[in-house]
Amino acid sequence: MAHIELLLNDARSFLSEQPESLQGRITELHHVIHEKLGAGNDFLGWLDLPINYNRNEYARILQAAKKIRRQSEVLVVIGIGGSYLGAKAGLEFLNEPFKKNQLEIIFAGHQMSGIYLANLLEYLKNKDFSINVISKSGTTTEPAIAFRILKKALEEKYGKDEAKERIYATTDRQKGALYTVAKENGYEMFIIPDDVGGRFSVLTAVGLLPLAAAGINTDQLLKGAEEAYDRFMNPSLTTNEAYLYAATRYLLYQQDKKVEMLVGYEPNLLYLNEWWKQLFGESEGKDHKGLFVASAGFSTDLHSLGQYIQDGERHLFETVIQVKHSSKDILIPEEEQDLDELNYLKGKKLSYVNEQALKGTMMAHKDGMVPNLLINIPRFDSFTFGYLIYFFEKACAMSAYLIDVNPFNQPGVEAYKKNMFALLGKKGYENIIK
């Protein structure tokens, strides 16, 4: 039995052909992926990470995590895109709201707000902190600016000798600006493998160091990914939920569904949504192809986006994540006067109400001609997070190859950078804007 369950009951009736009809094409592309025959095949290192990660580096990650917790109250993780979203998704997925943890993780370098960074520097003045800077090149504008500023603050607070013991660089194996700075200053370094792109890097030091530092059980996380790896080695759509998901969303796309919304009913899922949007948006959105990926947190967004989803243009479908088991819950009390008319729910668990909201919404949206795919996950734990990450990564590779695009490049990302550099006066970009 699969650790997660994909249910298509509220999607199949919308399909002119069923995903199983694509089995031949899926099997062919499975071979292309695993034999590394397709476009972007030099970035398939993530494929075997659950069983083929560097054990020695992983041991160093765990030791560094202990050192960070011993030294610091705060770890500032500097990175953008895949260099922060996976770790942030894991922290939100696994941490209990309002619980004060041993180590606070704060992210920087994922935007260029002077307000945010100035407030962060003010906050850190009375905190012991360390830095994990994550960048393949070390020249990506947002994290490079943040690192320059935060490194200066760290050195002013502790002096250069102690500061270098509080800086951890996750970067290229042997080249780049960050590699050079780390080597020259003696920072502890961890590797972003050459064949793993940022949005597929959660199971490398990029995600594992911040998560381990936060006290998350990364052993179980890797075991979850390993179980998903084993299960998805078989391309059969009767057992491979990742490929079944890819095939279903492909068929909906072929039927002019242009938007996929990832929906969850728990706040812990909100940053998984953000990671998922980068994963699929950057992997599929090229050559004027691909689904536009969006997300929502229900039932909150039912009071904002709900009207459009129910009655707006019929160009979207939803993938809903349901968490089957709650680690904590609360009973709804009885009120003597019942002015809010809620006594009919007395003694009911709030999770039960949330579940009925999910079921009722799926029924309504299906009636409103919005296909719904349902992903059931058992609970919020490290094993499930690792499994889910690999599920989406494998599905993403298949999805992109189904629409005949390279899943592992992002040529469109460079367009804004060239204009920005020209406007900022960077040498070599003077003639970009005319």
Q: What is the mean pLDDT of residues 21-40?
A: 97
* pLDDT at residue 336 greater than cutoff 80: yes
pLDDT band at 432 (very low <50, low <70, confident <90, very high): low
pLDDT of residue 98: 85
Q: What is the mean pLDDT of residues 141-153?
A: 95
Give 275-280's long-range contacts (Cβ < 8 A, gap of 24+).
275/85, 275/86, 275/88, 275/89, 275/199, 275/202, 276/392, 278/81, 278/82, 278/85, 278/199, 279/199, 279/200, 279/392, 279/393, 279/396, 280/392, 280/396, 280/399
CB atoms inside a 10 Å sphere around CB 377: 22
Residue 326 CA neighbour count, 13 Å, CB half: 14
Catalytic annotation, pick one of 226, 282, 284, 393: 282
Q: What is the mean pLDDT of residues 127-141?
A: 94
* pLDDT at residue 99 greater than cutoff 90: no
* Whole-angstrom distance, CA of residue 155 vs CA of residue 158: 5
Q: What is the mean pLDDT of residues 148-173?
A: 96
Catalytic annotation, pick one of 36, 417, 418, 426: 417
Extract the tokens encoding 29.
């592309």
pLDDT tens profile 219-278: 999 999 999 999 999 999 999 999 999 999 999 999 999 999 999 999 999 999 999 999
* Whole-angstrom distance, CA of residue 219 vs CA of residue 224: 9
Computed over every residue of the chain, the mean pLDDT equals 95
pLDDT tens profile 339-360: 999 999 999 999 999 999 999 9
* Whole-angstrom distance, CA of residue 158 vs CA of residue 142: 24
* CA angle centred on 231, ends 230 and 234, rounded to 5°: 100
pTM score, whole prediction: 0.95
**Residue 282 known to be catalytic:** yes
* Whole-angstrom distance, CA of residue 267 vs CA of residue 366: 24
pLDDT of residue 139: 87
pLDDT of residue 420: 78
Q: What is the mean pLDDT of residues 92-118?
A: 92
pLDDT band at 36 (very low <50, low <70, confident <90, very high): very high
Q: Picking from 68-72, 96-100, 181-185, which range would have the lowest pLDDT averaged per residue? A: 96-100
pLDDT band at 199 (very low <50, low <70, confident <90, very high): very high
